[in-house]
Amino acid sequence: MLAYAARRLLVSLALVWVVATLVFMVIHIIPGDPAELLLAQGGVAPDPWLVTDLREKLGLDQPLMTQYWTYLGGLAQGNFGYSLLDDHSVADEIALRLPRTLELVGAAALIALLFGLPLGVLAALRAGEALDRLLSSLAALALSVPVFVVGTLIILVLAQNLRLVPAGGYIAFATDPLRHLGLLLMPAITIAVGLGAVVLRVTRGSVLEVLERDHVRAAQARGVSVAAIIRRHVVRNALTPVVTVVALHLGALLGGTVLVEFVFNWPGVSGYLVRSVESRDYPEVMGIVLVISSIFVLLNFLVDLLYAVIDPRVRHG
Amino acid sequence: MTISATRRAVLAGAASLPFLRIPGARAATPGVLTFGLSSYPPTLQPWANGGTASATIKLMIFRGLISYAPDGSLRPELAESWTLENPTTWLFKLRNATFQNGEKVTSADVKWSLEQIAAERSTAFFRAQIQGLERIETPDDMTVRIVTKEPVATLPIWMASYHMPIISRNSPRGQFIGAGPFVLKAQERGVSLDLEAYPGYYKPGLPKLKGIKVVAYGDENLRVAALHSGDVDLIEYVPWQSMDAITANSALKLDAVDGAFMFLVFNGTRPPFNDARVRKAVAHAIKREDLVKAAFFGRGSPLTQLPIPPSSPFYNAEYKDGWNYNPDLSKRLLAEAGFANGLNASMLSTAQYGMHKDTAEVVQQHLAAVGINVELNMPDWATRVAIGNRGQYDIAVMGTAADSNDPEGLASLLDGTLSPSYVRSYGLKVDRITELLAAGRAEFDETRRKAIYREIEGVAIEQAPLVGLTWRSQGYAMRSAVSGFKNMPGALTFYSGLTFETTEVA
């Protein structure tokens, strides 16, 4: 088991290195010069020697390989570097913003499960009936509407017309817990709409499948109450695929909340990534992508280990 | 029975909704204005050009020797007066003012600030200009004498720029202590900035606000929603499509001016656009009204001459229709230049900003109608800037505001002898324009200056080193309770931050 874990760990580290290298290559290959952009704010023409000076100052005049080794060397010491824009530490910024995105994604998952699970079970129990068809149509609709449409509609209705919540923004939980949660609500709901639909559909399918199993029939034959059957025998068994699907989506959401963060002014890590790409802030882009992909790799590593624990055949395979 | 009970519960719940309002992002402190900015300022370095968001914040914190009055005229600021001693010597008399650390503003601070701008490795916007000064003298604490190598009529305009603030020479390293009306108290990177009134500001009774909370709203629709919902008191960069709704709302008011403009630049190093006739053909092929409608929802106006606003003393009414819509003339000019059967070219724009993209698409249609077939290249902004700086295009769509309302503010767009840049045509030199721009810079007599810039415009209409497309409306919107804030005229719209000192919120 230990040898297996070590092997997987090595593979994971290699993966992180590959990602770091790929990101470094890609960001340097795409056109656009951070020094030029930095000096050309607001449509003005910077002097070329000003650009040259700045490139020198930022170390961008070094050969690419030199920059690459400097970068890898920094990474090995846990140093993500500093923003080209204002010398701000990239690690600090990620440490500040990643929890906000995690919180947003977590809140969205909670809302999605809260609604998706019971409605999915309900749809399965009423399979083929009008209620099932209605819920399935709603889920299909929720899945096909893009998040920025949902987001904009929610802002229009909740913030602008009903004035129930502020139109967006962020306040630290420590500063004002109530306002923090109020501001979290709209973006979380926006992500939860699509995610909840996925949960509903997966739950429905899974429950339908479990309902056909022998142990459920046996329980029915024993005269166990319907509520108890659903709770104890159906839902519990039907949850496995739901958890898998939700976990997969959450991973994707880590870097995929860009639009929601933008629409609601939520200062998370996704919006930060987009801004960094736009200004070609190399250290920022590389740092964020590396952290997000490392989380992915780590999750995969854990899943691999978990499989090995569950199924010993994997260890020797 | 159960159904009616449920319905009652739902109705009761719905009725209680308005009382459940979650308090907004806005901390309603009396006398504090909440301002929705379009993006978080990338830098607050006083002398660097960090874009318009940075400039707006800089105008809260810093002041220079000179600034602009709300009507757009130059006004004394830290300098109470300035006079021309001889054609290469300007004398500035300082007034009694203090920096935000309580120290007096002296001529030594002015000299120090100018030296920082000119320093080795400085990223200051005016580095080249200040390096070109002969010397800076400080005869006494309150007098600064600036000697230039050549006569510079526009020196007061440089000094009025928001990239030219005077900073205390005793500022701690990495910090910049200014003499403006507001002190930066706190900032959360990417989210918000908190500013507090500076009680020692040299203008009695100002600033009127106790403070300003600046919140960055990158999404234009959210910025408008935040104003409608009362989260913010004032927003900048009002999207054109929202202007009607704001005007219609009695609780809000809109202050919009034609400030920035859209134009075309060319690659002058290769055919077909190294030929002035072809460039002129482009200028006459475009129906600007369509552009104003499509790209700016009617919020703007056609620009068929050089972008000098009609309110400027340098405006030349005789060139009003210099580049009027005349497709027949376009075709004739193309035929004269040897392109009777039309031509193919590439047009650079960006899909990142709607106004650049929409403008490019409308221009493409109009050019096709006279036989100029352009293929659009619309990468993201960063790539577009890089391609533009390297001249890898035939025509490009550009949008900006002039540096000032003085026509010298257009020099960076018209002078082809300057270094290659995406803001002006690539390698397109019109010698007469370069000569005249230099003459205008050295001329102190207003009448003669006007004549020089009139001639520049005449040459520009014929040679088309750039082609004007549209003025675009630049708007601020605010709650009716806000007063004293003014959108400054023309190119000075991005100087409107100066009026925060007189802004009040009821």
The Cα A113–Cα A199 span in angstroms is 7
The Cα B329–Cα B285 span in angstroms is 8
The Cα B234–Cα B239 span in angstroms is 14
Q: Can you give the pLDDT at residue A316? A: 64
Residue that the structure tokens 């109450």 belong to: A225
ω into B207 cis (within 30 of 0)? yes
The Cα A252–Cα B460 span in angstroms is 54
Cβ(A171)–Cβ(A179) below 8 Å? yes
* Contact check, Cβ <8 Å, A179/B52: no
A91-316: CATH superfamily? MetI-like (1.10.3720.10)
3-state secondary structure (DSSP) of residue B261: strand
Q: What are phi and psi of B87, to 5 degrees?
A: -55, -20
Q: Can you give the pLDDT at residue B382? A: 81
Residues 31-50 of B with CB under 8 A from A: 42-43, 48-50
The structure tokens listed for B168 are: 């205390």
Average predicted confidence (pLDDT) for chain A: 84
B459 close to A (CB below 8 A): no
B226 close to A (CB below 8 A): yes
Q: Which residues pair with B33 in a beta bridge?
A: B212
B222 close to A (CB below 8 A): yes
The Cα B146–Cα B135 span in angstroms is 6
Q: Which residues contact B277 (CB under 8 A, 6 or more apart)?
A: B333, B334, B336, B337
* Contact check, Cβ <8 Å, B219/A267: no
Which long-range contacts link A9-16 to residues 24+ away (Cβ below 8 Å)? A9/A301, A12/A297, A12/A298, A12/A300, A12/A301, A15/A293, A15/A297, A16/A290, A16/A293, A16/A294, A16/A297
CA angle (B248 as vertex; B247, B253 as ends), nearest 5: 35
The structure tokens listed for B276 are: 């002035």
Three-state secondary structure of B414-458: HCCCCCCCCCCCECCCCHHHHHHHHHHHHCCCHHHHHHHHHHHHH
Closest partner residue to A33 (CB to CB) among B188, B386, B418 is: B386
Residues 232-251 of B with CB under 8 A from A: none
Cβ(B123)–Cβ(B48) below 8 Å? yes
Q: Please tell me the total number of residues recorded for chain B in this structure.
A: 506
Residue that the structure tokens 């308090």 belong to: B23
| Nearest chain B residue to A263, by CA | B219
Residues 339-358 of B with CB under 8 A from A: 352
Q: What are phi and psi of B47, to 5 degrees?
A: -100, -10
Cβ(B257)–Cβ(B76) below 8 Å? no
Distances (CA, A) of B478 to A243, B26, B71, B230, B484: 48, 15, 20, 10, 11
pLDDT at A314 over 70: no
With CA atoms as reference, report the closest residue to B327 among B364, B365, B370. B370
Residues 140-169 of B with CB under 8 A from A: none
Residues 469-498 of B with CB under 8 A from A: 494
B423 close to A (CB below 8 A): yes
The structure tokens listed for B362 are: 């409308």
Q: Can you give the pLDDT at residue B70? A: 92
3-state secondary structure (DSSP) of residue B35: strand
* A212 against A252, higher pLDDT: A212
Q: Which residues pair with B76 in a beta bridge?
A: B66
B398 close to A (CB below 8 A): yes
Widest pairwise Cα distance in chain A: 86
Q: Which residues pair with B81 in a beta bridge?
A: B93
pLDDT at A251 over 80: no
* Contact check, Cβ <8 Å, A265/B222: yes
Please state the pTM of the whole predicted model. 0.83
* Contact check, Cβ <8 Å, A168/B123: no
3-state secondary structure (DSSP) of residue B400: strand
DSSP codes of every residue in B365-385: HHHHHTTEEEEEE---HHHHH
Give the mutation candidate from B187, B189, B242, B397 for the A interface (greatest A CB count, under 10 A). B189
The structure tokens listed for A271 are: 């919006």
Q: Which residues pair with A188 in a beta bridge?
A: none
Q: Which residues pair with B348 in a beta bridge?
A: B377, B396
Cβ(B127)–Cβ(B117) below 8 Å? yes
Instruction: Count Cβ–Cβ pairs < 8 Å, chain A vs chain B.
Output: 175
Does ipTM top 0.90?
no
Chain mean position to CA B351: 21
CA angle (B27 as vertex; A100, B206 as ends), nearest 5: 125
What are the helix (H) ranges across B229-287? Answer: 243-248, 276-285
The Cα B233–Cα B228 span in angstroms is 9
**A38 contact residues in B (CB cutoff 8 A):** 42, 123
Cβ(A253)–Cβ(A108) below 8 Å? yes
Q: Can you give the pLDDT at residue B350? A: 92
* Contact check, Cβ <8 Å, A85/B352: no
**Predicted confidence (pLDDT) per residue in B198-212, tens digit:** 999 999 999 999 999
Cβ(B461)–Cβ(B323) below 8 Å? yes
The Cα B437–Cα A39 span in angstroms is 24
* Contact check, Cβ <8 Å, B51/A41: yes
The Cα B369–Cα B366 span in angstroms is 5
3-state secondary structure (DSSP) of residue B263: strand
Q: Which residues contact A241 (CB under 8 A, 6 or more apart)?
A: A202, A205, A206
3-state secondary structure (DSSP) of residue B173: coil
The Cα B441–Cα A197 span in angstroms is 66
With CA atoms as reference, report the closest residue to A94 among A268, A243, A212, A247. A268
The structure tokens listed for A258 are: 């860009």
Q: Can you give the pLDDT at residue A227? A: 83
For the beta carbon of residue B10, count every other beta carbon within 10 angstroms: 10
Chain A: nearest CA to B316, how far in angstroms?
25
The Cα B92–Cα B80 span in angstroms is 8
Which domains can be identified in chain B, with CATH numbers? 5-62+177-258+474-505 (3.40.190.10)
Q: Can you give the pLDDT at residue A313? A: 67
Widest pairwise Cα distance in chain B: 96
The Cα B457–Cα B319 span in angstroms is 8
Q: Which residue spans of chain A are classified as CATH 1.10.3720.10? A: 91-316
B427 close to A (CB below 8 A): no
With CA atoms as reference, report the closest residue to B506 among B181, B70, B28, B183. B28
Mean pLDDT, each 10-residue run in order, chain B (506 residues): 43 47 56 93 86 92 96 94 94 96 96 93 83 93 95 93 95 92 91 95 95 91 90 94 94 94 96 96 96 94 93 91 96 95 95 91 96 94 86 94 84 87 92 94 92 96 96 95 94 94 94
* Contact check, Cβ <8 Å, A163/B49: no
Q: How many CA atoms lie within 13 A of A13 on its CB side?
A: 8
